[in-house]
Amino acid sequence: MPVKNRLAEMVPEITAWRRDFHAHPELKYEEHRTAARVAELLRSFGVDEVHEGIGRTGVVGVIRGRPGDRVIGLRADMDALPILEKTGKPHASTIPGVMHACGHDGHTAMLLGAAKYLAETRAFNGTAVMVFQPAEEGGGGAKAMIDDGLFARWGIQEMYGLHTRPGLPLGSYATRTGPLLAAADTFRIFVTGKGGHAARPHECVDPMLAAAQIVVALQGIVARNVNPLRAAVLSVCTCQTDSPATNVIPQQVMLGGTVRTMDPALRDVMQTRLTSIATSVAEALGATAEVVYERGYPVTVNDAFAVEHAVDVAAAIAGPDAVNAQMEPMMGAEDFSYYGEQVPAAFIFLGNGDSAGVHSAEFDFDDDAIAYGSGWLVGMVEARAA
């Protein structure tokens, strides 16, 4: 494999870091041990600057190469998920109910490997900024770091990041220009009626009936309000009442779910139609509906120029046949999207082979992917700050 010899030598060390992070997972904005370990390692590498507490629990490492004006940012996310691990691995989570089920332990370790290599070699012109981000899993850690001055303080001009992907062959890469991942919004619909005894429904206004009709009606938004050539998903994922009894018509029902879209105009359409349908259907059945709609991560849009270089670096490592530069967009979401709103950015997927899927209790990052990930991160700095 054409990965730089020194980086290949570092794989066992990077693997040890990765497995340590895996055994000690931390949820969003609770990454205190992880962040402290990252900062400790960066200082041991001789990184020029190490800044902690950026965006609450984020860490930034600054490495200066030869004189030059180019500033390249590399990002890894550090947080874990509230899932009980079932891998049975020797390095499995030691924290009950928390595990690295999305590969962030691998992302963090690979960026540390890249930082150590770049700090040793400094074979680039300008500055490399290592961004170890908290709270990707629903906490908007990217935005928190931006709001805390990430771009203003370090002048990052381009941003690159990667994510492990099960099902993609080990040692291969996939990405695309333009929209890559969807915007992710959440909604809660509070349907209120008049509760009472289930044997006397005529004396009640049944919010469960209204909620059921709302669920069905909402499916018509994508089917009848969205151009079939455009992508949108609306999923109602939870239903809760204010009574667990089987012989009581509840006073209120809460429906919750997610909306995924690929462009801002469609995002507005989905919110408007969801609100209108929920309130109108409830009213028609004598109930009321209050909609709480929250905008989440925006669409992850890859810059064409940045993708071109990302693909070139990946092809230099694994060969052109191992790089898919025209992958289909996915309806998952990523807060890497916030970086792309600030500067040209590219996000790429790294193959994890035939493993369990991310967010699964059976998932584990494949350490054989480390050289490909760290190599790509190093390559992006050396290519863009040549």
Judge contact between 101 and 83, C-beta under 8 A. Answer: yes
**How far apart are the C-alpha atoms of 101 and 359, rounded to whole Å?**
5
Q: Which residue is it, tokens 């409830």?
A: 282
Q: Is 382 annotated as ligand-binding?
A: no
Judge contact between 249 and 208, C-beta under 8 A. Answer: yes
* Number of CB atoms found within 10 A of residue 190's CB: 18
CA dihedral 25, 347, 330, 23 (to 10 degrees): -10
Tokens of 57: 């629990």
Transcribe 160-201 into DSSP letters: EEEEEETTSPTT-EE--SEEEE-EEEEEEEEEE-B-EETT-G
3-state secondary structure of 53: strand
Instruction: Name the catalytic one among 26, 30, 136, 158.
Output: 136
Helices then strands, counting H and E runs in the chain, come out as 11, 16
120 is catalytic: no
Q: Is 102 annotated as ligand-binding?
A: yes
Instruction: Name the catalytic one among 30, 77, 79, 334.
Output: 79
Tokens of 104: 């962030």
What are the residues facing 127 on neighbouring strands?
A: 64, 71
**How far apart are the C-alpha atoms of 307 and 345, rounded to whole Å?**
8
Q: Is 104 annotated as ligand-binding?
A: yes
Q: Is 137 annotated as ligand-binding?
A: yes
Binding site feature residues for Mn(2+): 102, 104, 137, 163, 359
Give catalytic residue positions: 79, 136
Binding-site residue positions? 102, 104, 137, 163, 359
